[in-house]
């Protein structure tokens, strides 16, 4: 019955939370940047009240560091934090794979096969950007199939926290091939509806991803102060 999708009114604070999160994830606001309330108020044409509410939320999400009486900075991702995050994301992906296997239907599999094939194509042609996009979408699709919104949300939140490493984590050709092989094996497990296998593979896949990021971060050294 409810065809009319009830008018979504958002508060300024909610709107700002989303906008700022995007700016951080997309790199408009870089890790370590000072967050100037007056400047952002000017930028968005709002007062400090809703802006501060948004910052508090982002701080709770771990995207912003707020120090009392000293204002905020975009959270800087420390190598240690990456080392802590990836094992967690590994088990969450593993769980998603397990659940997805149990609920997978023919349509789901067909869609994943298509996305996978397209992604492999991009890999063959060395097209990094579309490859990355498809890769992300495949993982999102698995979470969708898993049918656990809380799990998906949690994963999304952790994913956002490591936004900063997106830019450093350019794969070497060997690592890229490794990732493709991981995905091939994952597809095989999906076709076989082998939840335990997929679970293990996804965890391993994340472990590889962690290695890539970790190498990149170590290579950069520890950029302590911006």
The nearest distance, CB 75 to DNA, in angstroms, is 15
Euclidean distance between CA atoms 211 and 108, whole angstroms: 30
Judged by CB under 7 A, the stretch of 49-57, 94-102, 152-160, 173-181 that binds DNA is 49-57
Query: Per-residue contact track with a copy of itself, 55 to 94, x per CB under 8 A?
Result: -xx-xxx------xx-----------x--xx-xx-xxx-x
Dihedral sign, Cα of residue 129, residue 151, residue 204, residue 106:
negative
**Angle CA(109)–CA(113)–CA(115) in degrees, nearest 5?**
115
Terminal-residue alpha carbon distance, the chain? 54
Closest Cα to residue 155, out of 142, 167, 164?
142
Site residues for a copy of itself, 164-223, by CB under 8 A, read none
The 10 Å CB-count burial string (b at 16+, else e) for 124-137 is: eeeeeeebbebbee
Q: Is 59 in the site for DNA (CB under 7 A)?
A: no
Q: Which does 81 bind (CB under 5 to 8 A by kind): a copy of itself, DNA, none?
A: a copy of itself
Q: Is 20 in the site for a copy of itself (CB under 8 A)?
A: no
Judged by CB under 8 A, the stretch of 34-42, 53-61, 113-121, 207-215 that binds a copy of itself is 53-61
Binding-site ranges for DNA (CB under 7 A): 9, 11-13, 35-38, 45-50, 52, 66, 68-72
């Amino acid at each position: 019955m409810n065809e009319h999708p009830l008018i979504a009114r958002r508060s300024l604070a909610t709107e700002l939370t989303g906008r700022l999160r995007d700016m951080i994830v997309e790199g408009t606001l870089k890790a370590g940047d000072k967050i100037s309330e007056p400047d952002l108020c000017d930028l968005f044409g709002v007062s400090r009240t809703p802006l501060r509410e948004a910052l508090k939320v982002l701080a709770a999400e771990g995207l912003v560091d707020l120090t009392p009486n000293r204002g905020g900075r975009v959270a800087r991702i420390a190598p240690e934090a990456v080392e802590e995050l990836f094992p967690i994301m590994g088990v969450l992906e593993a769980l998603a794979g397990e659940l997805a296997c149990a609920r997978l239907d023919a349509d789901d599999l067909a869609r994943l096969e298509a996305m996978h094939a397209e992604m492999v194509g991009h890999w063959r042609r060395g097209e990094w950007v579309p490859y990355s996009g498809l890769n992300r979408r495949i993982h999102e699709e698995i979470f969708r199939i898993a049918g656990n919104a809380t799990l998906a949300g949690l994963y999304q939140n952790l994913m956002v926290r490591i936004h900063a490493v997106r830019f450093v984590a350019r794969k070497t050709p060997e690592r890229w091939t490794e990732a493709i092989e991981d995905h091939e094996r994952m597809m095989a497990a999906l076709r076989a509806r082998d939840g335990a296998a997929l679970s293990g593979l996804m965890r391993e896949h994340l472990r590889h991803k962690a290695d890539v990021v970790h190498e990149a971060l170590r290579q950069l050294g520890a950029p302590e102060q911006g």
